[in-house]
Amino acid sequence: MPITVSTVIAAPIAEVWRRYTTPEDIKAWNAASPDWHTTASTVDLRVGGTFSSRMEAKDGSFGFDFAGQYTRVEAPHALAYAFGDRTCQVTFTDGAEGVTVRVTFDAEEVHSEEQQREGWQAILDNFRRHVLASQPGA
């Protein structure tokens, strides 16, 4: 079952795309809560290229690698990837209020739909804050 989360970011689409796909930026925004962080990130941004983000609890109690392979790269409008037996599609749509970033991913079976939606939305909200903080006058 697919789950979709989204946000609107008042920034140029090229800037939103760059900050979504650059390893140093990913390390800055890729966490669902303040007690987690991303300690390493690699991106080979091309169809067939791979990515990996090392996500860890700040207290060192747990960590995991979120990794996959890009199946679609259409800068600055669309990105898709496979991770394990699941997929994710990300779209970037320019509009009057800014760029709508929409992430649609295949649900997993361990956590509830609500937990998954909340976690992915929290990460996307962190991304929005990260982009907005980098804008002139922020």
**CATH code of the domain covering residue 26:** 3.30.530.20
Residue 119 domain boundaries: 2-33+72-133
In contact, 107 and 3? CB cutoff 8 Å? yes
pLDDT digits (tens, 9 = 90+) for 30-53: 998 999 999 999 999 999 999 999
Beta bridge partners of 88: 81, 105
Decide if 57 is inside a domain.
no
User: 89 in a domain, yes or no?
Assistant: yes
In a domain, 80, yes or no: yes
Q: Determine, yes or no, domain membership for 63.
A: no
Q: Label residue 114 by pLDDT band (50, 70, 90).
A: very high
Q: Please calculate the CA angle 74-124-109 and round it to the nearest 5 degrees.
A: 95
> Into how many domains does the chain fold?
1
Residue 40 resides in a domain: no
User: 86-111: per-residue pLDDT in tens?
Assistant: 999 999 999 999 999 999 999 998 88
Please check whether residue 115 lies inside any domain of the structure.
yes
Examine residue 23 and state whether it is found in any structural domain, yes or no. Answer: yes
Instruction: Tell me if residue 60 falls in helix, strand or coil.
Output: coil
Q: Are 106 and 8 in contact (CB under 8 A)?
A: no
